[in-house]
Structure 1
């Protein structure tokens, strides 16, 4: 077991107007839906002002041509692809980690390895990769791809990550530090380790055309509540983005995923468990509740209801879910863990479909706190000290005001309690998290050769 002192991690995860489905309709919103890089840079700078560990950028790749009359995903879609935006943010920030979501179904490890190596160098060692393998059939149509099985997707993702690491390790850290201008040798060939990969999904030979990342590898992030997701997380992830609506569920997930790590030769301290935290906070709890009710009252039910993995748009809104949900299950097996959480919540509290939509679609299965700074900090402290979380992905329902309130009201309270940093202490994303920097798997070979030469 590592002796690293546990530290609270805070990650900022934003949608354009906020995570609440009605956020874009709120009276405080003035912006259009056009992409606005300056907005995202300001939000990342605000997160850095609050000493957050991570600026997390989701990516919902591809759009279906169906259902163009709707606007159910407003604020999620139609922004920027991650690497372009995070590269711009990297030049305007100094400390915060920059996590890009990349789906392993729609690109090749060589492309992704060079993009992350580039982002890590541009940012001075602050890149992170949220590895996803979800596959929506309508998204696959954009690429002309058939829908793979869940097992295929996870198998491909594991090999994708393995090959990416091989490519990052195709150069030693110091490969380009000492070009010899007298001899004309730009690098010592012993620092190069060409990849020879022949796998089930990928074949690659050669060297990456970007130097090894400053951090060795970007911090590996993964989201998974299903059995396959938890197993993948235990083997590969250094941070997991999960969901849990009660502390006992959070504690069970925490124990489960960390207990799986030993069989992969990993220490539980090598993984940060960071559930989502949906927060509406104001100086008084009453003010917070008023803002939240404004959002709830703006939810549009006129186009029916599609919950996580359930299409119940044709059912009466003010009745509970039917006993047999088979006809209403989606065709995709994405998010099966979240779907099960939703069904359990509905059964446990006997919620109507309207109530369930307002409860689950807002927080999306995450912890929900509406109240004062003290109430929010109490929840964070309880989960952290109770080993239900190592940190949180803060998912504000309303932006930008909801996150401004969190930074100005909640962060100082966490700092006062000694739960959260007052200053960054590391130079890289890994150092700020307290994670080790992985060495190059080939480095010992060169060291051995040099010892023999001596």
Structure 2
């Protein structure tokens, strides 16, 4: 079979997604506090044969812009309100049969056993469809929620994350396949020889095991990640089986994929064991003009100040002192701008000014917006895929569940006709959907 496109649906357990207009959009159905809000999207994605539905997450309401949460709460910033996605995914286990289910958990504010137990449970209940999106969290607001004056420094967060993942893997593998016997007649629960001790002593953690949950259907959840910094890429190349990225054009997509694949191989892994999924936000119409009008109506609902609040939260930096027409290159060169923020601003494009970037963050948080008929969108995705820009796509909705439904109904059939997408699920686990193969015992 020829190389196939992988698809993930992106959600937050809250009002918005990458689109800050989503909650205001007249075609968004339901209330984010109701389980049906999520079930509708999950069922549509499964009908579209998606690999997985993935929930991003963040703990705290950002107050980086002007030291205040007022704007975020008044107009609905990305982190203004969130539910915990794990209980939602547990609910979706019963609403779906094949769709992979991915949850975000932070290595900075959890302990390894928290993640190991909850994700092993999700993998059991879903019969092998669980994924862990590994994050290190983002800003000082999250740190203060956990009693920390400041969020842990960037590279130190990844150092902690490396050790965190090592421990989680030890805990998940502490039960050998077949160690659980459940022999009622003989009164044998498990073979003690198949349950391995875990004794970890490291810089960040001391853990003694084993886990008290038997080996799950996949052996462990699929590991996914979205770090784009140099340190984040090294972390992803070591651990991730799927990496989500945001890039605005084919050269940037291809450069990212090539770099990560080289690092994956340098880690002693096969390049194919790490799928690169790049984010897109499609607007689909019966004609290109109709699709363009749908995009424009959507973007008009996005409040640019909310985009600035999101930018401030994501970079952990207050941009309120800079005028909207300030060039990004000038902000990056400002003596009060931390080096990490300056580096990120330069990577976002020095030709932009702050107001333009804020508008982009409000409407899409830089996710490329694709416009066209179903056939045109399929051709755009096929071009990016065939040119080596990615191994698949993260579909980010402008409204729910309509964006997902339109994609499944209008784009998926064209991808199938192009021979780039499955016509039925061929496996039952997320590892099988992604073509990752079984784990070693």
Determine if the TM-score, normalized by the shorter chain, exceeds 0.5.
yes
* Aligned pairs for 1:212-361 within 5 A: 212-301=215-304, 305-306=308-309, 307=311, 309=315, 311-317=318-324, 320-321=327-328, 323-327=330-334, 339-342=345-348, 344=349, 346-347=350-351, 351-361=352-362
**2:46 maps to which residue?**
48
Contact 1:338 1:365 in 2 (8 A): no
The 2-side partners of 1:272 and 1:396 are apart by 21
Contact 2:237 2:260 in 1 (8 A): yes
The 1-side partners of 2:98 and 2:140 are apart by 38
The 1-side partners of 2:137 and 2:78 are apart by 20
The 2-side partners of 1:161 and 1:283 are apart by 46
SS at match of 1:225: coil
Contact 2:29 2:401 in 1 (8 A): no
The 1-side partners of 2:336 and 2:272 are apart by 37
Contact 2:5 2:421 in 1 (8 A): yes
**1:147 maps to which residue?**
151
Shift of 1:121: 0.4
**1:410 maps to which residue?**
411
Give the alignment partner of residue 9 of structure 2, picking from 9, 12, 28: 12
Give the alignment partner of residue 57 of structure 2, picking from 56, 59, 64: 59
**1:392 maps to which residue?**
393
* Distance change in 2, residues 1:284/1:221 (3 Å): same
* Distance change in 2, residues 1:421/1:329 (3 Å): farther
Residues 8-65 of structure 1: CA deviation (Å, up to 9, x unaligned): 1000002445432223223334645x51111101111110010000100111113357
* Aligned pairs for 1:107-256 within 5 A: 107-145=110-148, 146-179=150-183, 181-182=185-186, 184-256=187-259
Residues 86-130 of structure 1: CA deviation (Å, up to 9, x unaligned): 111011111011110101111111111011110000000000010
- In structure 1, the gaps of 5 or more residues are 441-454
Moved more, 320-329 or 116-125: 320-329
Contact 1:17 1:399 in 2 (8 A): no
Contact 1:56 1:100 in 2 (8 A): yes
The 1-side partners of 2:417 and 2:437 are apart by 28
SS at match of 1:293: helix
**2:93 maps to which residue?**
90
Shift of 1:364: 2.3
**1:36 maps to which residue?**
34
Residues 243-277 of structure 1: CA deviation (Å, up to 9, x unaligned): 11010111111111101122211000101000111
Shift of 1:386: 0.8
Shift of 1:361: 4.0
Contact 1:9 1:433 in 2 (8 A): yes
Moved more, 108-117 or 365-374: 365-374
* Distance change in 2, residues 1:5/1:223 (3 Å): same
The 1-side partners of 2:28 and 2:430 are apart by 33
Contact 1:35 1:79 in 2 (8 A): no
Contact 1:180 1:187 in 2 (8 A): no
The 2-side partners of 1:10 and 1:315 are apart by 39
SS at match of 2:115: helix
Contact 1:305 1:357 in 2 (8 A): yes
Cα RMSD between the aligned structures?
Answer: 2.5
Contact 1:63 1:138 in 2 (8 A): yes
Contact 1:215 1:428 in 2 (8 A): yes
Shift of 1:330: 6.8
* Distance change in 2, residues 1:139/1:76 (3 Å): closer
The 2-side partners of 1:322 and 1:237 are apart by 33
Contact 1:304 1:314 in 2 (8 A): no
Contact 2:307 2:362 in 1 (8 A): no
The 1-side partners of 2:336 and 2:400 are apart by 32
The 1-side partners of 2:154 and 2:8 are apart by 28
**1:447 maps to which residue?**
none
Moved more, 169-178 or 273-282: 169-178
The 2-side partners of 1:134 and 1:218 are apart by 20
Relative to the length of structure 2, the TM-score reads: 0.90
- Structure 1 or 2, whichever has the larger Rg, is 1
Shift of 1:67: 2.6
- In structure 2, the gaps of 5 or more residues are none
